[in-house]
Amino acid sequence: MSELAVAPEVTMPPGSGGMYGEKVAGGGGPAVDFSYVGIDAILEQMRRKAMKQGFELNIMVVGQSGLGKSTLMNTLFKSKVSRKSALATAQEKIPKTVEIKSISHDVEEKGVRMKLTVIDTPGFGDQINNENCWQPIMKFINDQYEAYLQEEININRKKRIPDSRVHCCIYFIPPTGHCLRPLDVEFMRRLSKVVNIVPVIAKADTLTLEERDFFKQKIREELRANGIDVYPQKEFDEDAEDRMINEKIREMIPFAVVGSDQEYQVNGRRLLGRKTKWGTIEVENIAHCEFAYLRDLLIRTHMQNIKDITSSIHYEMYRVRRLHENNTVAAHANGLPEHREM
Amino acid sequence: MASTEIARQAGEGARAVPLAGHVGFDSMPDQLVNKSVNHGFCFNILCVGETGLGKSTLMDTLFNTKFEGEPTQHNQPGVQLKSNTYELQESNVHLKLTVVNTVGFGDQINKEDSYKSIVEFIDTQFEAYLQEELKIKRTLHSYHDTRIHACLYFIAPTGHSLKSLDLVTMKKLDSKVNIIPVIAKSDAISKSELTKFKIKITSELVSNGVQIYQFPIDDETVAEINSTMNGHLPFAVVGSTEEVKIGNKMVKARQYPWGTVQVENENHCDFVKLREMLIRVNMEDLREQTHTRHYELYRRCKLEEMGFKDTDPDSKPFSLQETYEAKRNEFMGELQKKEEEMRQMFVQRVKEKEGELKEAEKELHEKFDRLKKLHQDEKKKLEDKRKSLDDELNMFKQKKTAAELLQNQAQQAGGSTTLKRDKERKNFF
């Protein structure tokens, strides 16, 4: 059995049978060392269970048309996951209203299976009058929370509730180079309260490095001035270590990304990039653009964290709100049976 | 105004796409594991068995520490459950272990109600979790889970068959908790008797429909070992915290004049198997079963009992809320009715009391009048008496004055002579 990783036997004084385990009375007692029992095998058990169950990730991309959303998705997941690639009848016309199109994919890597859902929002910000264009999106997000809530309060509920809640929303900022537009500010302000927002500067190859830094600074200032908390949110940092890592990330947002799904030959290697007359932009080169940071943040390091924040904070807030809405009568009551709050 | 249109791929399933390069989400299990490690784990074991079967010793041996507590007496009036929580750590894994012991199980003369306190205890833990889950503002993430994940049922090593107390208790518990039966103090049984005993026990359990916990065999990595272990149930264990020198190692063992029983020797007892199964291989599965099967069953029963039903497709959402509202209204109606009744009763009582008081008042008045009359009579009598006394006094005074007058007159007559005599006397001086 591979699980029987042998830990070194700690020699113990005879007849003592190990040190005393502290009895916990409402707090943590000092930890006890003793020769190998095998408790850490639970990590392996967890891992096995996780691999068997697979993971789910739902990403929403929001931005005006032509900003390279679909290409970026394809680049992120190294396969044709975007709406345009998936739908045979890909419309090139800009829709008259904001639509929400959600496409699911099963991907697997090294035995880890993931159900990836990409939610696209064609038509966002494309009309002449863009008032309330965030409403369909907010409704969609709340609908997913609602579906999860309904399933959760069922009497006969499924063993594993299918998670269709939007974990992360990538917002594409057009590379004007000046500052955020009112549409961007409005949208991000409203949505940062219900979902994790990761703002990115799209098509960043139109900005020089100085312009990019200036733009980023302006954006950060505006986000701060409007009280918009994008992922990673400052208030959800758990400990000093988290804070350190997240501070570094917060210094860099919004990420300036370039997407591409075509490979070119650069220095003898085939790399993803964009070829222009004056040079080739390498997507995964951090000197050229910050795509690699975005990918690391989203997938390699913070994916679980993103999902946890969605389920334990955003979803809980929705649940509280929803239960309070239906509960205004009960709020006035006294002498409720038991102490059950619903 | 904008409208939405949600288009999904044809067919509920998602399309499988091949990846053209390394994306990196294979680190997901690692992220998950790291998160859990930071959060810590918790595991709750319930030990059920008669006093003196070696439950505490086995726990000590399993987790290689000395949990506190002296052996309990045999004269408990009823079955109580004592639970202790310990923090254990191994490499970087923190485990909050709770061991619940049944105290006084099987000691009473009438054991019919022994299982009740155990079932109650388990239900209380489920109830606490359910309450937390139904709260509006809840903290499920950091909730200390006290639900029992595994129940070790200690069977006495008689060598014949299960006692009826055992059967009854296990039948009541099998739908609430994962039961793992163990034969305690199995060094009292010989090998051949042991195999017969095990077969007898398993057949009795099956014929009585008791569902003990089966180790899961759906995961290929552990299917093989789990299925072999399933055949060895119930485990025959020996617990010992004392160490004896065998060869040149110190091992946990029990020393007898005729030999030594080594706890960790697979030929001697199944302790190693129990430890493997309970901790090293299936701890996570035990927790999952508790949550998905036993807790869900409890939840379903509890909510149905309260009168909630699931939504049918065309009823409004939040049927729980509506049913709750209806129930609440009903309850409020009842409350009001009761209140009315009580008020009526109150009013009636007040009237009665008032009547009584009025009666009393009337009586008092009468008494008062009587007394007054009496008093007046007395007064009159006294007045009369006084008057008569006054009259007497007057008469007496009259008589006195009359008598004095007479005396004066008499004196006057004789007094003039006295006067003369006085005068002479004066003249003399």
pLDDT digits (tens, 9 = 90+) for B140-158: 777 888 899 999 999 888 8
For residues B313-342, average pLDDT? 72
Residues A156, B56: Cα–Cα separation, whole Å: 38
ipTM over 0.95: no
B317 — pLDDT class (breaks 50, 70, 90) = very low
Residues B62, A36: Cα–Cα separation, whole Å: 10
A155/B324 touch (CB, cutoff 8 Å), yes or no? no
- pLDDT on residue B375: 95
Which A residues 292-331 touch B at CB under 8 Å?
295-296, 299-305, 308, 312, 316, 319-320, 323-324, 326-327, 329-330
Which residues does chain B have within 8 Å of residue A34's beta carbon, measured at their own beta carbons?
63-65, 88, 90
Residues B178-213 have pLDDT tens digits of 898 888 888 888 888 888 888 888 898 889 888 888
The answer to whether B271 and A34 have CB atoms below 8 angstroms apart is no
Nearest residue, CB atoms, A37 vs list B7, B30, B279: B279
Cis-peptide, bond into residue A232, ω within 30° of zero:
yes
Task: Give the residue from chain B lying closest to A104, CA to CA.
Answer: B14
Which residues does chain A have within 8 Å of residue B85's beta carbon, measured at their own beta carbons?
23-24
The answer to whether A316 and A282 have CB atoms below 8 angstroms apart is no
Residue type for A158, please? Answer: K
- pLDDT on residue B140: 76
Which residues does chain B have within 8 Å of residue A18's beta carbon, measured at their own beta carbons?
64-66
Residues B134, B138: Cα–Cα separation, whole Å: 8
Q: How far is CA B32 from CA A165, A305, B37, B218, B387, in A?
A: 18, 9, 9, 22, 118
> What value, to the nearest 5°, has the Cα angle with vertex A45 and ends A40 and A48?
140
- pLDDT on residue B344: 93
Cis-peptide, bond into residue A13, ω within 30° of zero:
no
Considering just the CA atoms, what is the radius of gyration of chain B in Å?
Answer: 49
Q: How far is CA A73 from CA A116, A220, B4, B184, B210, in A?
A: 11, 24, 22, 60, 53
A33/B243 touch (CB, cutoff 8 Å), yes or no? no
Nearest residue, CB atoms, A100 vs list B4, B93, B225: B4
Specify the 3-state DSSP secondary structure of B376.
helix
Which B residues 223-282 touch A at CB under 8 Å?
225, 241-243, 245, 250, 275-276, 279-282
Q: Kindly state the DSSP code that residue B262 receives in the 8-state scheme.
A: E
The distance of A140 to chain B (nearest Cα, Å) reads 8
Per-residue pLDDT for A64 more than 70? yes
The distance of A190 to chain B (nearest Cα, Å) reads 17
Residues B170, A266: Cα–Cα separation, whole Å: 71
Residues B415, B401: Cα–Cα separation, whole Å: 19
The distance of A27 to chain B (nearest Cα, Å) reads 10
The answer to whether A258 and A204 have CB atoms below 8 angstroms apart is yes
The answer to whether A16 and A39 have CB atoms below 8 angstroms apart is no
By C-alpha distance, which of B35, B58, B29 is closest to B263? B58
The answer to whether A116 and A298 have CB atoms below 8 angstroms apart is no
Bridge partners of A118, per DSSP, are: A59, A103
Nearest residue, CB atoms, A23 vs list B68, B283, B324: B68
For residues B421-428, average pLDDT? 63
Q: Tell me if chain A has a CB within 8 Å of the CB of B318.
A: yes
Nearest residue, CB atoms, A55 vs list B22, B28, B138: B28
Per-residue pLDDT for A213 more than 70? yes
Percent of chain B whose predicted confidence (pLDDT) is above 70: 87
| Residue with the larger pLDDT of the pair A222 and A333 | A222
B390 — pLDDT class (breaks 50, 70, 90) = very high
Task: Give the residue from chain B lying closest to A87, CA to CA.
Answer: B9
Q: Tell me if chain A has a CB within 8 Å of the CB of B336.
A: no
